[in-house]
Chain A
């Protein structure tokens, strides 16, 4: 069987490489923060902690440097840099981005407060009495505005607050963070000796900004515009395949050069009068050809209902491809795929993309209702590639393994019984978050290492 002999991909080695890259990325993030603090210590003159006032001021400056470094790291993480996306995936990048938000804000608030107190102590003034001279210093009013904007941005991103905004409203507020970062630059460069003109610390600092804003400009602005106009994607046909579920067939030019892989998603924007302001992250539901692509999405409220009825010929702009729900993420000799509901879209494309030997893959599809759209396509591909194919239908069990139907749970079905080779497999799971977490928990309990678990949450 020549097909088998050809394909001895060393998944373990791929994984080790990716793990090393991931370690290096994390190390780079910590290093930038550490260097920011060291910048101050190396340039702080003789006694940065000589008096209480000086010590408080010094801590304030360090807090500002490290806090700003966090913000710049957050910008890079949100920039969808290909290297980061390929290494840890967009989801984890955004999770880290979120987890840095509050610490960064606390550091910047601390920066302001500590300097007020520190200079107050040094001058023998009350902290509030320092506000006047501070505001009278060039570039400082801008810096205060920047801090105010940053507070707004972080507060509106807290889960409890964000719920009250539409995605678009929140996003516009979030864009203010760029204004905040820009407003904070002048006071960093013009005041304080740490980043003095013509010094290496200043070069380092400027480099961080070039990387952060360069990443955003390149991958969030320029690349989408260039891709959009290069590939000229239009809606060919909107095909309703189930109640509230449509496949959108798209045509464009030179689509294979996008480098999109089955399992990845794009952020799509459909340029009709009622839908252009709303962008949609949607997975490919089949591997694109050079001239065509297909996505499948379900009406989840919001703007997505209007998409069900967009006319043929509508111009489509794209950002992407993104995502690590792909064969590139594999680390083990076998592959297990579970998908529920609309989660079938990336699972189907992933299966189509994968080069498999018979018995290498096992697929389980799950629905609690009766919508089995795309199931026949998955069945066909599974058969062609020699993958085992199972299904589970019916309402969720109320006890036992609640991610499967009641009768299966009662029979004692488990991940290990469906996927006997689970521990030698990469497990790809795609579906609603609550359901997905049950499977993740069972997989981890069964002994599956975290790096072999690849999930894609469909909560949009």
Chain B
């Protein structure tokens, strides 16, 4: 351990196959505490798969991932790591049989062993933070997609994670709801949360990211700070991709 230089997420030479498809081909990545990393790339490039490997929702065939000093190798370690990582999904995945409040309280009680009052207080504070304290007793089906995604972010934050993973958090949202979710993410980034975001929101990437990772065909092609990557990409494939997503 060499103090502050030790990355909070250390990915080394990950390979992942889905049957015949070689989804990740030797990906290595180090992410420092407090960094905001946005992963971009065409669909099928393996960016979501890589993100899901970090909390082992996806098993990988070979390679090594160490999160906050804990290697992802035993069931016990995987659960320990998951408790330190919050995950936000494209399809929100709120527990549909529970109210917003119960969604936020459940894991706090089971995993963090918080009392009911304490968990409620944490939940309410977070709902205020994401701007929807009035929806506390609503069911997921009764609120909009943008509100559901903000609740999902609050649910992940209620576990006091050290890292947040976002898997295309705005892709399932109507255009007018995207901003409310991105605002919450932006606020988180400013607070110094370590974030790994898979997204097509280039505006967010430009404004919030310390680093952009461009992936294609299961490999990291290029990584650079946003200014550099957007204005001066080095690789031909990066140029082609950016010309498609930026020119409109």
A and B pair up:
no
Q: Which residues of B contact A (CB under 8 A)?
A: none
